[in-house]
Amino acid sequence: MNTLPERRRAPALDIAVVGGGMVGAAAALALAKAGFSTALLEAREPTPWRAGDEVDLRVVGLAPSSIELLDGLGVWTSIRDARSSPYAHMHVWDSESGAAIDFSAADDGRDLLGHIVENNLVQWTLWQALEAAGGRSGTATGGVRRLCPAEVRGFEAREDRVVLELADGESLAARLLVAADGAASPLRDMAGIATRGRDYAQRAVVAHVVTERPHEATAWQRFLPTGPLALLPLADGRSSVVWSLPEDEAQRVLALDDAAFMDALGIASDFRLGRVLGTTRRAAFPLKLQLAETYQSDRFVLLGDAAHAVHPLAGQGVNLGLRDVAELRDTLRAARDAGRDIGAEHVLRRYARRRRSADTLDARGFDALARIYAWQSPPLIAARGLGVRLLDRLAPLKRRIAAHAAGL
């Protein structure tokens, strides 16, 4: 007797996102709000953010494009009202040539250049929104399913799905796997995607400090022979320090007592905000340039730091990741609305081509700046100073740079 072939059941999920940091959590929420059945897998939940706790040492300068995305996800008002610091000006100057450049939101007809916000606040707010959208961890109601703790041990791309093998022995099938699991991405390695770039042999020392003079809602950045030093405005009137230093010098600065650190920071910042009067504990993280050679594989894409890690001198790392999120959401939504398979190679290639091109341009630009400001030869320093002074006078070019940084 002839029998009809068994009809293969579609995957239970459209998209599985691995990695619950700021970019991964934003991706899961954005994709769910776009109508995709989504799961977010993360090894551990973020530390709860509480208004009474000390400000997170890791902060991000959210550009207007990132704020627009977060606002569309329904979380920006909560983040802004909880604890954020808007800034309308940026002053950058060179310790060797004395050349300086100023950016002002008003020059481009805007109120703000961005907001300085704690990493933990952004991540926690996104997690709360995911919980509201999808119920408790491990349950599925609405468009989001959170699995935490969850660890992916391997995955296999098949004709119409990708199957994830989890550490607890369970499996999960989706049409598409999104890796947002950080710069050391295990999933990227499992997919066989190589990276290229360079180690800066530097660490960024971070702390929050009280200064003699107010920060004036301005992001201050001084380029030193050892690397850039940024003083970013915090909501409570303090400034967040991001001080890029060679490894040995970073270790020396970390080992200083508070008084010696404050003196060293005052000198390094040219006392632009006066004397440094108080400091929190300090921490440091390594700096490197890393770009994935491709952002896609079979039913698989990379997002955020898993795709690109950049020098923090322009403060654009998270903004690039959130632009990845917006591009992926729009690409997948267009494919679905046209009746296409969201995990098809030609669909993912469109996302990967657009974002890798943009991310590479930005990453190489930041790297070029780091190299230019490392010049120590007097003629090169003079040329650098001349270039900065000319740029500061070229208002149209300055506006284009500011608009690009804003993601506009």
pLDDT at 137: 43
* Mean pLDDT estimate for the chain: 90
Which residue would you say has higher pLDDT here, 407 or 354?
A: 354
Q: Looking at residues 245-254, what average pLDDT do you find? A: 96
Model confidence at 7, pLDDT cuts 50, 70, 90, reads: very low
Torsional class of 50: left (φ above 0), alpha (ψ -120 to 50), beta (otherwise):
beta
pTM to 2 decimal places = 0.91
CATH of 88-114+200-287+377-406, one of 3.40.630.20, 3.30.9.10, 3.90.1010.10, 2.120.10.30: 3.30.9.10
Cβ-based neighbour number of residue 196 at 10 Å:
9
Q: Looking at residues 20-32, what average pLDDT do you find? A: 96
Q: Is the peptide bond preceding residue 378 cis, with omega within 30 degrees of 0?
A: no
Integer CA distances (angstroms), 403 to 65, 108, 191, in order: 10, 8, 35
Q: Looking at residues 362-367, what average pLDDT do you find? A: 82
Question: For residue 45, what is the enclosing H or E element?
Answer: none
User: Both tokens of residue 251?
Assistant: 């270790």
Give residue-wise pLDDT tens across range 138-180: 444 347 899 999 999 999 999 999 999 999 999 999 999 999 9
What is residue 112's DSSP assignment?
A: -
pLDDT at 260: 98
pLDDT at 24: 97
Give residue-wise pLDDT tens across range 321-357: 999 999 999 999 999 999 999 999 999 999 999 999 9
∠ at Cα 396 (393, 397), nearest 5°?
75
Question: For residue 184, what is the enclosing H or E element?
Answer: none
Instruction: Tell me the one-letter amino acid at 236.
Output: D
In this structure, the strands spanning 171-179 and 300-302 are parallel
Cβ-based neighbour number of residue 288 at 10 Å:
15
∠ at Cα 174 (171, 176), nearest 5°?
130
User: Both tokens of residue 356?
Assistant: 């890798």
Model confidence at 372, pLDDT cuts 50, 70, 90, reads: confident
Architecture of domain 13-73+120-196+289-369: 3-Layer(bba) Sandwich (3.50)
DSSP bridge pairs for 301: 178, 296
Among 295, 70, 292, residue whose Cα is nearest residue 178: 295
Contact at 8 Å (CB) between 172 and 16? yes
Q: What is the DSSP string of 374-402?
A: T--SHHHHHHHHHHHHHHHH-HHHHHHHH
pLDDT at 263: 98
- The domain ranges of the chain are 13-73+120-196+289-369, 88-114+200-287+377-406
Contact at 8 Å (CB) between 49 and 124? yes
Among 202, 197, 201, 175, residue whose Cα is nearest residue 184: 197
pLDDT at 117: 96
What is residue 26's DSSP assignment?
A: H
| Per-residue 3-state assignment (H helix, E strand, C coil) for 153-181 | EEEEECCCCEEEEECCCCEEEEEEEEECC
